[in-house]
């Protein structure tokens, strides 16, 4: 059953009635451009087929009641006074969006309350942004139910605010923009300084290529310290370099300030500067249909994330190495790192070889082999019913 059917069924059994509507939003895979978004930089994500659905209905008893097919129990809290700190479990994602939309509109949005039933196909902790999928589906639902008429950029901002303030993960805008604005068969070039989004047609199938996602099985959490520390290091490096953000830094400026930066800040900044350049080199290659040329850029991104940004883990390095050895054109960790998934760009005729090589690597480490999943660039968040 699709996430949408499961969310609708869960709503009916929990609330003994039909919801006013059903909305869904996808997870995302970032082709290239990692840890650039909160540095005002560039990224090139696309929406994946796996989605999170929410069935929703306004209430009139002043309660916010949330259930999820993936979690036990039910969250029931007061609509009045919803604020950071009042919900501390997983419901901080959807209820954080309601709070953020109240901030954005200056109104007590759905003050009478809300019933929400959630189901998801996006694996949590796999670096595929299950959180943004939930936030984006919820934001669309509330926008419709309350007649807010906010645009998708404003809804993305609300999702990010929810994550930053209610959940306490200091993430950028990449995931929410990808979930709300992607197009099928295209990647989305993001300029995270002004929020501009430009679809870039991909044509993976026509080029005989597949993107396989391999889950390392190492769960990551962005509200743990590593992500926030990287972000703070980037801000510190920008300050030493005398630029507004690392988006404005150059390799020449970086070399000139090497001693003042010290080794760690130097390497963090080098990752961001070179990663932005890799995104900007990727776009024309895609435009010219030279998708096979993306491989080295993707692998260079991994090396930079591993060595300069230090957000990889041995399991991800092993997947990348195994995939490249079995004929992948490029491979890298995706998302925030510290676990999660790797993406591999593979000629279609080599996908079985890559899967077998990854399985052998995991077997040699005494771990269960992950099953690589092929992902196609898919549709953005939408109302389903
Ligand atoms: C996570 C965050 C994003 C982005 C990536 C790294 O997915 O939610 O904002 O920073 O990590 O590129």
What is the structure's pLDDT at 224? 72
Residues near ligand 1 (Cβ within 6 A): 34-35, 37-38, 129, 171-172, 174-175, 222, 335-336
> Bridge-partner residues for 342, per DSSP?
214, 333
What is the structure's pLDDT at 223? 61
Return the best residue to mutate from 45, 175, 332 for the ligand 1 pocket (most ligand atoms within 8 A of CB): 175
- Per the residue annotation, which of 175, 201, 307, 353 is the catalytic one? 175
Neighbours of 89 (CB within 10 A): 11
Kindly give the number of the ligand 1 atom that is closest to the alpha carbon of 174: 9
**Active site includes 175?**
yes
pLDDT (mean) for 202-208: 95
pLDDT band at 210, cuts 50/70/90? very high
pLDDT band at 73, cuts 50/70/90? very high
Q: How many residues does the chain have?
A: 385
Dump pLDDT digits (tens) for 108-137: 999 999 999 999 999 988 889 999 999 999
Distance, in Å, from the CA atom of 238 to the CA atom of 245, rounded to the nearest integer, reads 5
Residue 288 has pLDDT above 80, yes or no: yes
Residue 317 has pLDDT above 90, yes or no: yes
**Which domains are delineated in the chain?**
3-200 (3.30.230.10)
Percent of the chain with pLDDT over 70: 99
What is the structure's pLDDT at 125? 84
Nearest 5°: CA angle at 114, between 113 and 115? 140
DSSP E strand stretches across 10-107: 21-30, 42-43, 45-58, 63-68, 74-78
Give the Å distance between the CA of 366 and the centre of ligand 1. 30
pTM of the model: 0.97
Percent of the chain with pLDDT over 90: 94
Instruction: Name which residue sits closest to atom 2 of ligand 1, judged by CA.
Output: 171
pLDDT band at 222, cuts 50/70/90? low
Give the Å distance between the CA of 336 and the centre of ligand 1. 5
Dump pLDDT digits (tens) for 12-32: 999 999 999 999 999 999 999
The answer for 362, left when phi > 0, alpha when psi is -120 to 50, beta otherwise, is alpha
Dump pLDDT digits (tens) for 184-200: 999 999 999 999 999 99
């Amino acid at each position: 059953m699709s996430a949408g059917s499961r969310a609708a069924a869960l709503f009916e059994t929990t609330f003994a009635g039909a919801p006013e509507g059903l909305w869904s939003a996808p997870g995302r895979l970032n082709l290239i451009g990692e840890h650039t978004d909160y540095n005002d930089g560039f990224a090139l994500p696309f929406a994946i087929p796996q989605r999170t659905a929410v069935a929703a209905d306004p209430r009139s008893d002043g309660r916010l009641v949330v259930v999820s097919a993936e979690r036990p129990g039910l969250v029931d809290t007061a609509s009045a006074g919803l604020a950071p700190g009042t919900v501390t479990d997983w419901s901080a994602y959807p209820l954080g969006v309601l709070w953020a939309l109240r901030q954005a509109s200056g109104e007590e949005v759905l003050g009478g309350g809300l019933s929400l039933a959630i189901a998801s196909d996006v694996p949590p902790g796999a670096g595929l942004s299950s959180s943004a999928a939930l936030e984006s589906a919820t934001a669309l639902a509330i926008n419709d139910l309350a007649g807010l008429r906010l645009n998708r950029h404003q809804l993305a901002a609300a999702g990010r605010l929810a994550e930053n303030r209610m959940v306490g993960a200091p993430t950028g805008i990449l995931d929410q923009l990808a979930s709300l604005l992607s197009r099928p068969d295209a990647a989305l070039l993001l300029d995270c300084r002004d929020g501009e989004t430009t679809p870039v047609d991909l044509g993976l199938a026509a080029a005989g290529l597949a993107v396989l996602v391999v889950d390392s099985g190492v769960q990551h959490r962005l509200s743990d310290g590593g992500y926030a520390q990287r972000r703070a290091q980037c801000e510190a490096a920008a300050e030493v370099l005398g630029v507004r953000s690392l988006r404005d830094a150059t390799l020449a400026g970086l070399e000139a300030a090497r001693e003042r930066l010290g080794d760690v800040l130097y390497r963090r900044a080098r990752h961001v500067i070179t990663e932005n350049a890799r995104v900007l080199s990727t776009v024309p290659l895609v435009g010219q249909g030279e998708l096979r040329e993306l491989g080295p850029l993707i692998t260079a991104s991994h090396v930079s994330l591993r060595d300069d940004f230090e957000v990889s883990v041995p399991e991800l390095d092993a997947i990348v190495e195994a995939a490249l050895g079995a004929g992948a054109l490029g491979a890298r960790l995706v998302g925030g790192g510290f676990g999660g998934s790797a993406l591999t760009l593979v000629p279609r005729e080599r996908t079985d070889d890559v899967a077998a090589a990854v399985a052998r690597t995991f077997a040699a480490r005494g771990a269960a082999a992950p099953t690589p999943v092929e992902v196609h660039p898919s549709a953005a968040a939408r109302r389903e019913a």
